[in-house]
A and B are shown apart, each in its own frame.
Chain A
């Protein structure tokens, strides 16, 4: 990637815009924490376009900024836990090979929710949140799938960015 700083800026602002768009969609599945995770579209795309340390930084910057703008202190901690775990798993699967963009994204979606669930368990000191595991896994899988298919199409058309 030639102008790294410029691309980093573009990706960051795109991720922020997606976070904003997400706040406009009134989704309430009756389960706290279930979101589409539009900003993850940028993270997945960036994973295939940038070096891993840069994607990691992008993920953290995105979470902190969108947390300050749209969320609160708590949402930053949850998103950070989910985002870092999700990115770690995605990077691992990508490096392991044999997975398509969609597969990597499905893993990312589910582990995003697992990360948040772990923090929730620590904060409220109860294990009963474990009863939301099936719903959160299914939701993560579904959103991961949608994000993965979309990211795949974006990557096909984004050949100019290198």
Chain B
């Protein structure tokens, strides 16, 4: 059986691969080291900022979600939503990584101190 790829198919695949490569570059360039805290947002409003250096458990949104910080990583350990996507997700620790619980509109974002000050200025 032949897959029957045509010239345009290959071109399309190459374009997508280029976009992937480009976004990975942006990601590693902007993200990476220097991340040391998580920002918890509910409905886009900041609920709290916590250091990743300190092991602790945080109740978000009056207990709909529970976030655990351990060994410099943040992990969602409990959520009352049916899909449990954020709970199944791997722990985050790199700059700009995030845990998102869509049904409860909870966003947990990793960020570095320096950059958020920069954001505050540009905003």
Contact = CB atoms under 8 A, between A and B. Distances in A.
B47 interface: no
Contact of A102 (B5, B96, B97, B102): B5
Contacts of B107: 124, 126, 128
Nearest to B44: A125
A33 B96 contact: no
Nearest to B7: A98
B68 interface: no
A138 B3 contact: no
Given A123-B105, A128-B96, A137 B5 contact: no
B32 to A, nearest CB: 11
Main secondary structure of the interface of B (DSSP, over half): mixed
Contact of B98 (A107, A110, A129): A129
B100 interface: yes
Interface in B10-59: 12-13, 16-17, 19-20, 23-24, 27, 31, 41, 43-44
23 contacts: A32-B89, A74-B103, A75-B83, A98-B7, A99-B8, A100-B4, A102-B3, A110-B16, A120-B100, A123-B105, A124-B41, A124-B105, A125-B43, A126-B41, A126-B100, A126-B107, A128-B96, A128-B109, A131-B98, A134-B20, A134-B23, A134-B24, A137-B19
Interface of A: 28, 30-33, 71-72, 74-75, 93, 98-103, 106-107, 110, 120, 123-126, 128-131, 133-134, 137-138, 141, 149, 152-153
